[in-house]
């Protein structure tokens, strides 16, 4: 039986980028506009003190194989020493002040992929075509893969590393690319699934299970859509909360990789002023009983 558990109510202003750290049995995720890295321990069910970056935003975080963390913050990749709090720039990807990093994760070889998006005064209404998709190589080199993106979001790779799934939110679809795992090159884009904005809201971050299905967080739906990538069909809908409609991303975690962790965004002050209650918006959720397992997340290997 499915069960949705609220692990931290109204916890983040804009929660994003959940990553299951299998080595340490913990969940990493960010609060974009508070520029915080959060760490939730599975055994103790408690949070470590958040790491606050000097950058105005942080879009994604992953563990580093040699120790510490790597984050995609504002316009740069940074290393984070968890003990000392020292932050060091690894690479700057752009000087475009009209954009910021939003979401990212590592590919099967340990490159850190992350994309940018235009700045926004209203959620999901950014300055258009400001975003780009980058990867940070294990040699700390930067590669640019896509341009003219509105809102860079979900990234997932198949278990055989042959395909990469990617979402530019305002295109209302998930695209699949042929993936060269040796070089990190993408080619032959094809639309896997298209969403109905009125019915499904906006596709945000996603993850992939061991059967190759995508689990897509829908911003405005308060839920997750399961997509059969071989058929290009929505095959299931998981309701998270009627009062946390801005679900932003998800990942499988837990000791057996069979629990789905879901981030969300709090309602804005303008929403609250217009009478929308805070509810469970901005909460961190966990869903059990889905009958699916994820793939182990990859650390940055540079």
pLDDT at 124: 84
**Bridge partners of 20?**
27
pTM attached to this predicted model: 0.97
Q: Are 71 and 52 in contact (CB under 8 A)?
A: no
Token code pair at residue 60: 């994604």
DSSP secondary structure of 191-253: EEEE--HHHH-EEEEEEEBTTS-EEEEEETTTEEEEEETTTTEEEEEEE--TT--BEEEEEEE
The sheet with strand 259-264 has its strands ordered as 3-8, 284-288, 259-264, 247-253
DSSP SS3 for 171: helix
pLDDT at 262: 98
**Rounded distance between C-alpha atoms, residue 77 and residue 140, angstroms:** 9
Token code pair at residue 268: 């804005």
- Block residue for tokens 């997509």: 227
Those residues of the chain that have pLDDT short of 70 are: 269-270, 272-273
pLDDT at 268: 73
pLDDT at 270: 67
Helix (H) or strand (E) holding 269: helix 269-273
211 part of the active site: no
**Rounded distance between C-alpha atoms, residue 28 and residue 39, angstroms:** 5
Contacts of 122 (CB under 8 A, 6+ apart): none
pLDDT at 218: 98
**Rounded distance between C-alpha atoms, residue 55 and residue 84, angstroms:** 17
pLDDT at 269: 65
Active-site choice (31, 150, 168, 204): 204
Contacts of 190 (CB under 8 A, 6+ apart): 175, 176, 177
Sign of the alpha-carbon dihedral angle for 298, 49, 71, 58: positive
pLDDT at 122: 83
Token code pair at residue 208: 């992939």
pLDDT at 85: 87
Instruction: Give Cα 76 distance to the centre of its chain.
Output: 17
């Amino acid at each position: 039986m499915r069960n949705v558990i609220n692990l931290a109510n109204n916890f983040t202003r804009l929660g994003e980028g959940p990553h299951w750290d299998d080595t340490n049995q913990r969940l990493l995720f960010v609060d974009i506009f508070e520029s915080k890295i959060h760490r939730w321990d599975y055994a103790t069910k408690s949070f470590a003190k958040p790491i606050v970056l000097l950058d105005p935003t942080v879009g994604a975080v992953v563990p580093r194989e040699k120790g510490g963390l790597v984050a995609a913050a504002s316009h740069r990749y940074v290393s984070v020493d968890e003990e000392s709090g020292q932050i060091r720039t690894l690479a700057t990807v752009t000087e475009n002040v009209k954009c910021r990093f939003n979401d990212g994760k590592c590919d099967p070889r340990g490159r850190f992929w992350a994309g940018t998006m235009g700045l926004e005064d209203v959620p999901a209404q950014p300055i258009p075509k400001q975003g780009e998709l980058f990867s940070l190589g294990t040699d700390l080199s930067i590669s640019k893969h896509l341009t003219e993106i509105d809102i860079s979001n979900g990234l997932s790779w198949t278990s055989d590393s042959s395909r990469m799934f990617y979402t530019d939110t305002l295109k209302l679809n998930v695209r699949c690319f042929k993936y060269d795992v040796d070089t990190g090159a993408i080619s032959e884009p094809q639309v896997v699934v298209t969403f109905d904005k009125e019915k499904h809201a906006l596709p945000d971050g996603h993850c992939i299970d061991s059967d190759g299905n995508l689990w897509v967080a829908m911003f405005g739906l308060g839920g997750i859509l399961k997509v059969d990538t071989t058929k290009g069909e929505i095959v299931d809908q998981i309701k998270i909360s009627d009062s946390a409609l801005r679900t932003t991303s998800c990942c499988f975690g837990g000791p057996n990789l069979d629990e789905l962790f879901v981030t969300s965004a709090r309602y804005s002050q303008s929403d609250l002023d217009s009478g929308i209650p805070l509810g469970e918006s901005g909460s961190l959720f966990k869903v059990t009983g889905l009958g699916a397992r994820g793939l182990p997340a990859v650390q940055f290997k540079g």
